[in-house]
Amino acid sequence: MMNSEKNGSALCVTKNIDIRFSEVDSMNVVWHGNYLLYFEDAREAFGQKYGLDYLTIYHNGYYAPLVDMSLQYKRPIVYGQKTVIKITYCPTDAAKLVFEYEIWDEEGVTLFVKGRSVQVFMDMNYQLIWTNPPFFEEWKKKWL
């Protein structure tokens, strides 16, 4: 289930995550690498909701590789836990996509993880693009 909201100038999407057995380690805690997969799921949900999915970027002649990712672990998440991830788009004038993430318990009481990611634009020859691509400028005009 996915919800969305426009929060001031930031766009947000939330997505439920049920923690599966295959995602935990021998301590019954979510393995650290899976948080990046949850962030990816959130980016895909955001892209689908707001028309900024990877295929849209690709069909406009660009790639959007991750160049920076950070996580702050607050509390462990265990097998069977029902959680919600929230992704928020952080507007910037630079030619990049910046997102912040939070993973909460289902009731929104306990914060488990916070994170941030940065993606840049590259052309089909893998050259860094220093200015916002035209399609992204149009996207910004539509949503911000």
- Residue 117 included in any domain: yes
pLDDT in tens, 57-80: 999 999 999 999 999 999 999 999
pLDDT for residue 131: 98
- DSSP alpha helix (H) spans, the chain: 33-50, 54-59, 134-143
- Residue 102 included in any domain: yes
User: Hey, what are 38's tokens?
Assistant: 């949850």
Q: Which CATH number belongs to the domain containing residue 28 in this structure? A: 3.10.129.10
DSSP-assigned letters across all residues of 96-131: EEEEEEEEEETTS--EEEEEEEEEE-EETTSPBP-S
Q: Name the residue range of residue 107's domain.
A: 2-139
Question: In the chain, how many domains are there?
Answer: 1
- Residue 37 included in any domain: yes
pLDDT in tens, 88-141: 999 999 999 999 999 999 999 999 999 999 999 999 999 999 999 999 999 999
pLDDT for residue 2: 41
pLDDT in tens, 26-65: 999 999 999 999 999 999 999 999 999 999 999 999 999 9
Four-point Cα dihedral 142, 61, 47, 76, nearest 10: -130
pTM across the whole model: 0.92
- Residue 144 included in any domain: no
Residues 21-30 have a mean pLDDT of 96
